[in-house]
A and B are shown apart, each in its own frame.
Chain A
Amino acid sequence: MSNNHTHTEGEYIPETYIPHAESHGTGSLWRTFWILLGITIVDFIIYFAFGASMARNIVFIAFGIIKAILIVGIFMHLNYEAKFLRWMIVLPAVIFLSYLVCFLLIEGNYVSLEKYF
């Protein structure tokens, strides 16, 4: 395979290319930790303060999504990655998950597995 990368400096070999990583400090990491901890404590309080209801479930799922965004964005560093990488990871996940969840919400009504178990 010929190497005609005339517009780059140095030699680019995909399998060994390591971009330079820089520390962003620990401030945002600890802040994320306290937010995650806080949300979990609020989860705990809501669980005992309110009875089971659809509203409570929606709050729990919303908190779960917020925690997921924080973990993926800050801890897994996706917020700081290149734009194309961000979309390549986020878009398929969002599309596939909404597809699955919509099927569950629309078709789940008709399923009764009771007779099989």
Chain B
Amino acid sequence: MSNSSTVSSTSIWTGGRSPFNVSYGKLMMWIFLLSDAFTFSSLLVGYGAIRFSYAGSTTPWPDPATVFNHFPFAHGLHLPLLFVSLMTLILIISSVTMVLAVEAGHRNSKSEVSKYMFLTILGGAAFLGCQAWEWTQFIHEGGRLDSNLFGFTEAAHEHAKHLKLFDSVHWTDADKISGPVPFASLFFIVTGFHGFHVFSGVVINIIIWINVMRGTYERRGHYEMVEKVGLYWHFVDLVWVFVFTFYYLI
């Protein structure tokens, strides 16, 4: 505002203005997101440490491509990575509609903000639906918090034979129970923690959307609340980039 133009840059810390030139609420949202980034990075680094500890083990870490290889209405087909890529696409698109809502808010266009907020909510709900479907598949096939039926897959057995660990034994379904438990528990914890962020993001988005339609922010004269919830929503997208990279790609 006019503050920044009248005060020289040397007096930025002498008080009387925000040195960060943002509102209090937005600053606090940034600090919250920073702390949340620490939480998620700790989870992912913990995931990396545990996965790394199974390298060269007789119960190797399952290849995610052999576990998450389903797609709706394509039973029995081996389609790794396709479904999570679709989920990634949905989240990126909902991120764009969110940022378009923020941009429309800068122009004080109530109808456009509410339209893009609605599309963002739809995207978030679609993502949650996809995740629910994927969890259902995983649980249906034996994934549990305290057990993992995907440890000793056929591919892993081939690998073990190659290492001369089991030269004459054939792979059977019974071998499936010997997988590393953390594979399943970390899947539920990491994607569940992210999914809960998406869920709370959708709930907050709905609250803000109702406020937009009731004209709360129009009366207030600015759409800063949309910016704050937008920051949270993009952070959820940001976390998914790394969950996608570390859980499915690597």
Contact = CB atoms under 8 A, between A and B. Distances in A.
Contact of B22 (A22, A85, A109): A85
Contacts of A21: 105-106, 222, 224, 227
B45 A12 contact: no
B132 interface: no
Contacts of A12: 3, 16-18
Interface string A2-35: 0001111110101111111111111001100100
Contacts of A92: 34
Given A75-B99, A96-B41, A60 B250 contact: yes
Contacts of A16: 24
A84 B18 CA distance: 10
Interface residues of B, number: 70
Nearest to A60: B249
What does DSSP make chain A's interface, helix, strand, loop or mixed? helix
A18 B224 contact: yes
Contacts of B19: 82, 84
21 contacts: A14-B18, A17-B17, A17-B18, A20-B1, A21-B222, A40-B92, A52-B250, A60-B250, A64-B245, A68-B241, A75-B234, A76-B231, A81-B20, A82-B21, A84-B20, A85-B20, A89-B30, A100-B41, A109-B52, A113-B54, A113-B182
Interface of A: 5-10, 12, 14-26, 29-30, 33, 36-37, 40, 43-44, 47-48, 52, 57, 60-61, 63-64, 67-68, 71-72, 74-77, 81-82, 84-85, 88-89, 92-93, 96-97, 100-101, 103-104, 108-109, 111-114, 117
